[in-house]
């Protein structure tokens, strides 16, 4: 369950950083660096505290809280795609999906490295 929450956090961070990089507020190379560093911090945090941290069971989390945790990142992705795609969602979701899969690959690599530190 922890990897699901982490992947939703990664999706939210990705939308915010890409949203700043598209209009040119931050440089694209800096945005890529920020994404990799934040994914590394999320993975290292999950990997190093895995020995003492036990995630809360699914039944102990309320339905509203569970829906909020899942629907907020998903809604932010679709809102980003609708705004920057000017009504066309699929041409924006495809590159976002590629970036998301790449970030999940980094997450798996960093989590594997950090789990050896326990």
Eight-class DSSP state of 62: -
Euclidean distance between CA atoms 13 and 38, whole angstroms: 8
Eight-class DSSP state of 53: -
Contact 50, 118 (CB under 8 A): yes
Average pLDDT over residues 5-32: 88
* Claim: this prediction has a pTM higher than 0.75: no
Identify which has the larger pLDDT, 35 or 56.
35
Write out pLDDT tens, residues 51-99.
444 454 444 556 666 667 777 788 888 888 888 888 788 888 888 889 9
Identify which has the larger pLDDT, 57 or 2.
2
Contact 10, 76 (CB under 8 A): no
Tell me the average pLDDT of the chain.
80
Q: Report the number of distinct structural domains present in the chain.
A: 1
Range of the domain at 76: 2-115
Tokens standing for 35? 């994404």
Name the one residue in this structure whose structure tokens are 């590629």. 98
Q: What pLDDT is recorded for position 105?
A: 92
pLDDT for residue 29 is more than 90: yes
- The region, left, alpha or beta by phi > 0 then psi within -120 to 50, assigned to residue 115 is alpha
Average pLDDT over residues 5-29: 88
Q: For the chain, what percent of residues have pLDDT higher than 70?
A: 78
């Amino acid at each position: 369950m922890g990897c699901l929450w982490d992947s939703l956090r990664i999706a939210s961070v990705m939308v915010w950083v890409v949203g700043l990089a598209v209009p040119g507020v931050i440089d694209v190379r800096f945005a890529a660096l920020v994404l990799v560093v934040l994914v590394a911090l999320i993975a290292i945090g999950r990997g190093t505290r895995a020995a003492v941290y036990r995630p809360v069971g699914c039944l102990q989390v309320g339905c509203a809280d569970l829906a909020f945790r899942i629907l907020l990142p998903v809604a932010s992705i679709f809102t980003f795609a609708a705004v920057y795609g000017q009504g066309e969602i699929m041409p924006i979701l495809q590159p976002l999906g590629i970036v998301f899969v790449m970030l999940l690959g980094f997450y798996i690599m960093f989590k594997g490295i950090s789990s050896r530190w326990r």
